[in-house]
């Protein structure tokens, strides 16, 4: 059993686990047992029983970071190398032929629309018409 003095006018006794770490760690069970509240925004610890509070003394400049070796999930678009672009274009054309897509000029919307060979035209949502009466 060790006694901890946090400057809140009463001792805090607890069975601490001693570990070889750079910074001391107080766990949530200790805080709950002694009725201590941690105010992270204002950097203080509050004794819920006596309503006393103590400002935290920050004495470290540690910076936490995670080093990754992979590309980020989102990155800026960039051009493909010419040889890779050629292969991708050929694959895309093959995919269009295999799935049965074709494009055709649609008079009603005055644009080309992709449509399935055995299906209906694929159009953007919304109403596309030319109204000469307006």
> In the chain, where are the structural domains located?
2-55, 82-118
Answer whether residue 41 shows pLDDT above 70: yes
User: What SS3 state is found at 82?
Assistant: helix
CA–CA gap between residue 90 and residue 80 (Å, rounded): 14
Report d(CA 131, CA 108) in Å as an integer: 10
Q: What pLDDT band is residue 80 in, cutting at 50, 70 and 90?
A: confident
Average pLDDT over residues 19-44: 85
pLDDT computed for residue 83 by the predictor: 93
Q: Which residue has the higher pLDDT, 134 or 59?
A: 59
pTM, two decimals, is: 0.39
CB atoms within 10 A of CB 112: 10
Rounded Cα distance between 65 and 70, Å, is 15
Mean pLDDT (the chain) is 75
| Count of C-beta atoms within a 10 Å radius of residue 34 | 19
* 91-107: average pLDDT: 72
Q: Give me the pLDDT at residue 132, please.
A: 53
CB 26 within 8 A of CB 2: no
Residues 55-79, mean pLDDT to the nearest whole number: 73
- C-beta neighbour count of 36 within 10 angstroms: 19
Residue 42 and residue 7: Cα distance in Å, rounded?
A: 17
């Amino acid at each position: 059993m060790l006694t901890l003095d946090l400057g809140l006018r009463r001792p805090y006794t607890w069975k601490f686990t001693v570990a070889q770490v750079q910074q001391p760690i107080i766990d949530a069970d200790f805080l709950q047992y002694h009725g201590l509240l941690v105010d992270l925004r204002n950097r203080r610890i509050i004794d819920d029983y006596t309503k006393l509070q103590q400002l935290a003394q920050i004495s470290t400049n540690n910076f936490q970071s995670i080093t990754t070796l992979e590309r980020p999930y989102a990155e800026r678009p960039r051009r493909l190398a010419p040889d890779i672009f050629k292969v991708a274009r050929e694959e895309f054309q093959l995919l269009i032929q295999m799935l049965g897509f074709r494009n055709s000029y649609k008079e009603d919307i005055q644009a080309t629309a992709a449509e399935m060979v055995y299906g209906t035209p694929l159009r953007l949502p919304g109403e596309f018409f030319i109204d000469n009466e307006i």
